[in-house]
Amino acid sequence: MDQDAKKTALRMIPYGIYVLTAEAGDGRVAAATVNWATQCSFSPPLIALGVKTDSAAHEIVKDVKHFALNILGKGQGDMAYTFFKTVEREGNTIGGQAFSPGSTGVPVLDATTAVLECALTDTVERGDHSVFVAEVVEAAVKRPFEGRADEAVLAMADLGEKVFYGG
């Protein structure tokens, strides 16, 4: 396989930018920027997302079976960068971002555009990421936006010329 062609072709897949949050039974909170997420069923409403197997978010979600997918909107690139690295909880903030318990008890970032609260149904473990399949059990749109909903999402391309995923 031509490695340059593989890398370029994989980078042509468009990605939104999201922050996955979860809370362990002992109060530890994980938050991680993720970019591979998609709806995979209308009824029941299911999403699938890739999560790095060596991350705290992966460990906590597998344990508690619930998480929030916080959807970042245009102009929220700084928040995406915040959760590219490990961050600590301080009271009701993580990485300096305020959160509140969602209706299912999962931490929901206050400043995001929308959120999906999810219950983990299946895990596919392959390679350096697992694919989590989860049922959406609650949803909220928290900030107004104009135009199409899919155009309101912060996209990988919005983070600049040097930020890529894939390859």
What's the CATH number where 149 sits?
A: 2.30.110.10
In a domain, 165, yes or no: no
In a domain, 96, yes or no: yes
pTM of the model: 0.92
In a domain, 167, yes or no: no
Q: Give the chain's domain count.
A: 1
Q: Which two tokens stand for residue 84?
A: 């590219």
In a domain, 4, yes or no: no
Structural domain containing residue 99: 19-159
Look up residue 152 and give its amino acid.
Answer: A
Sign of the Cα torsion 117, 120, 124, 126 reads: positive
Alpha-carbon distance 34 to 16, whole Å?
8
In a domain, 40, yes or no: yes
In a domain, 152, yes or no: yes
Residue 45 C-alpha from the chain's centroid: 17
Alpha-carbon distance 140 to 161, whole Å?
31
In a domain, 127, yes or no: yes
Alpha-carbon distance 123 to 59, whole Å?
12
- pLDDT per residue, tens digit, the chain (167 aa), is 988 898 878 777 788 999 999 999 999 999 999 988 999 999 999 999 999 999 999 999 999 999 999 999 999 999 999 998 888 899 999 999 999 999 999 999 999 999 999 999 999 999 999 999 999 999 999 998 889 998 999 988 888 877 766 65
- In angstroms, the first-to-last Cα distance of the chain is 12
In a domain, 164, yes or no: no
